Amino acid sequence: MYKIAIVGASSLLGRELKDALNDSPLAAANIALLDEEDAQGQIDQVGDEVTFIQALTSEAFEHADFTFFCGSEDLTRRHWRQALRAGSTVLDLSGVLDQETGVLVRAPWLGADASSADLFTPAVVPAHPAALALGLLMERLQQAAPLRTAAATILEPASEFGRAAMDELHQQTINLLSFQTLPRDAYDAQAAYNLLGGMGESAKVNLAAAEARIRRHYQALSQGRWPSLAIQLVHAPVFHGHTFSIFVELERPVEVSALEEALSGERVDLVLEDTDSPSNLAATGQNDVLVRLRPEIQARGTAVSRLWLWAATDNLRLNVQNAVTCALDLRRLRPQGLVQ
Tens of pLDDT along the chain (340 residues) come to 899 999 998 999 999 999 999 999 999 999 989 988 776 667 666 766 767 788 888 788 999 999 999 999 999 999 999 999 999 999 999 999 999 999 999 999 987 555 678 778 899 999 999 999 999 999 999 999 999 999 999 999 999 999 999 999 999 999 999 999 999 999 999 999 999 999 999 999 999 999 999 999 999 999 888 989 999 999 999 999 999 999 999 999 999 999 999 999 899 999 988 778 999 999 999 999 999 999 876 555 578 899 999 999 999 999 999 999 999 999 888 765 444 3
Residue 70 lies in a domain: yes
149/109 same-domain check: no
272/294 same-domain check: yes
DSSP string covering 122-161: --EEEPPHHHHHHHHHHHHHTTTS-EEEEEEEEEE-GGGG
Contact 90, 123 (CB under 8 A): yes
202/63 same-domain check: no
β-strand pairing of 30-35 with 147-156:
unpaired
209/265 same-domain check: yes
The whole-number pLDDT of residue 339 equals: 41
325/209 same-domain check: no
The whole-number pLDDT of residue 283 equals: 95
Cα(134)–Cα(221) distance, rounded to whole angstroms? 10
The whole-number pLDDT of residue 115 equals: 61
Provide Rg for the chain, Cα atoms. Answer: 21
Residue 143 lies in a domain: yes
147/179 same-domain check: yes
Residue 340 lies in a domain: no
Name the residue range of residue 304's domain.
131-315
Contact 168, 186 (CB under 8 A): yes
Give the domain CATH number at 248.
3.30.360.10
Cα(247)–Cα(230) distance, rounded to whole angstroms? 10
